[in-house]
Amino acid sequence: MAKPNRSAFIVIEGLDRSGKSTQAQILHERLTNAKTPVELIKFPDRTTAIGKMIDSYLRSESELDDRAIHLLFTANRWELASHITTLLASGTTVIADRYAFSGIAFSARKGLPYEWCRGPDVGLPAPDLTLFLNIEPAVARARGGYGEERYEREEVQRGVRELFEKIGREMQTEGSSWVQVDAGKGKDEVAEDIWGAVEPLIGSCDSPIGRLWD
């Protein structure tokens, strides 16, 4: 059997309070325990110069035109794109906590045209698997409530959820691997469902890394 020439790129998406970060952490630990080299990346990456502008916007410390902030989120992915492809090529599995799908869903919810929102993300490294952690916004809110940041309101989350579902349908139609996970279940059960989708990918990616919507 030919040796796989790269590792897997796994994206975890979902609404606020759907358990994305917790599950990304659990998956990271599980892969580490299985001696699989793995790196967890979070978008937005608030540590870069662009990330600091995004952070200030999310905390409502600054105002930006809807299109300007959209492009900053995308630029924040592009500034890490070569890091991601380098990791994948060197055999490190990459888990991303949010990605371009959040970018489209949150901006299109504001009324920006869907295709316009998607444009700048075309060509980014394509995930081998996207796990969409689906949860009722009311259940998410009941989990200790939303925080103080922009977008952390049930009405916003409802609109974003509809857009995530539209994106998911399109991804499935074009044959991309988009898996919906019931995130209303308990933490351990969700982790098992995620592992069931991820395990078959480990050590088995032998096609070159794809480009999103290209």
Least separation, in Å, of the C-beta of 149 and Mg ion?
Answer: 5
* 3-state percent breakdown (helix, strand, coil) of the chain, nearest 5: 50, 15, 35
Query: 97 or 128: whose CB is closer to Mg ion?
Result: 97
Pairing mode, if any, of strands 129-134 and 93-97? unpaired
Distance (Å, whole) CA 179 – CA 11: 10
Least separation, in Å, of the C-beta of 170 and ligand FDM?
Answer: 17
| Nearest residue to the partner Mg ion, using Cβ | 16
Q: How far is CA 106 from CA 53, 65, 84, in A?
A: 17, 14, 23
Identified binder of ligand FDM from the candidate list 78, 151, 195, 213, rule CB under 6 A: 151
Find which of Mg ion, ligand FDM, none residue 101 binds, CB within 5 to 8 Å per kind.
none
Strand-by-strand arrangement of the 178-182 sheet = 38-42, 93-97, 9-14, 129-134, 178-182
Q: Which residues contact 199 (CB under 8 A, 6 or more apart)?
A: none
Find which of ligand FDM, Mg ion, none residue 114 binds, CB within 5 to 8 Å per kind.
none
Write out the binding residues for Mg ion, residues 2-61 only, by CB under 5 A.
16
Task: Verify binding: residue 44, ligand FDM, rule CB under 6 A.
Answer: yes
Query: 25 or 36: whose CB is closer to ligand FDM?
Result: 25
Least separation, in Å, of the C-beta of 151 and ligand FDM?
Answer: 4
Residue span 71-110 as binding mask against ligand FDM, x where in contact by CB under 6 A, dash where not: --x------------------------x---xx--x----
In the chain, what is the greatest distance between 2 CA atoms, to the nearest angstrom? 55
Report the candidate in 53, 26, 58, 55 with the shortest Cα–Cα distance to residue 40: 26
Least separation, in Å, of the C-beta of 106 and ligand FDM?
Answer: 3
Task: Verify binding: residue 127, ligand FDM, rule CB under 6 A.
Answer: no
Packing angle between helix 66-89 and helix 100-108, nearest 10 degrees?
Answer: 170
Find which of ligand FDM, Mg ion, none residue 161 binds, CB within 5 to 8 Å per kind.
none
Query: 16 or 121: whose CB is closer to Mg ion?
Result: 16
Report the candidate in 191, 198, 154 with the shortest Cα–Cα distance to residue 17: 154
Query: Residue 155 has which token pair?
Result: 């009405």
- Residue ranges binding ligand FDM (CB under 6 A): 16, 43-44, 58, 73, 98, 102-103, 106, 151
Which chain residues interact with Mg ion by CB under 5 A? 16
